[in-house]
Chain A
């Protein structure tokens, strides 16, 4: 998996707004899709890992869905808070976790 795209590149929302962004990847040889949250001046932290088409994961106000047939995943944040401001990275893997490639990220800024 070489070509991972995320959109939008950056996003500004008001506190309380809900938002979502997209990760696109080649659907062939897909094995798993990881989402990471990366705050400025910190290290990336894992949010979710999904494998099956139609998978949906939820962690508090953040949820993610996966479509392996068409090669995309959505990340949703409900009621955004300033502490949600971060870069959200997706990373598809193939061949049982090899070729772990990060997307360019979506940079989210939540304005109070």
Chain B
């Protein structure tokens, strides 16, 4: 069973389009994240979200928005795609530890987005 899954695995689209990437976790975790692997292969946090709070990295353009229909899903919606949005996007989840250190994140397989 896949713990954290993302769809699609690959996404090729035209500049200006709107697209969504879906993420689902079956771990029962309360917190989910979106990361972008940038051109230097660094992993940068975009959003973290649980049922109480959305934390947004202030460097993320507002064309990007997370949407969570329920605790197990955190989808990433991107409006007006730009060439620079081409990257690999990773979803992850973790369980808040309530003071104990069990914040290990479990990552999805990544979605490779190419904007033409």
- A residues near B (Cβ < 8 Å) are 31-32, 34, 38, 42-46, 49, 51, 87, 89, 93, 96-98, 100-102, 104-105
Contact = CB atoms under 8 A, between A and B. Distances in A.
Contacts of A31: 101
Q: Is the interface of A mostly helix, strand, loop or mixed?
A: loop
Chain B interface residue bracket vs A:
20 to 34
A93 B97 CA distance: 13
B43 A97 contact: no
B105 A96 contact: no
Interface of B: 4, 33, 35, 40-45, 48, 55, 90, 94, 96-97, 99, 101-110
A90 to B, nearest CB: 11
Contacts of B105: 34, 44, 46, 100
Given A43-B90, A46-B105, A49-B104, A97 B96 contact: yes
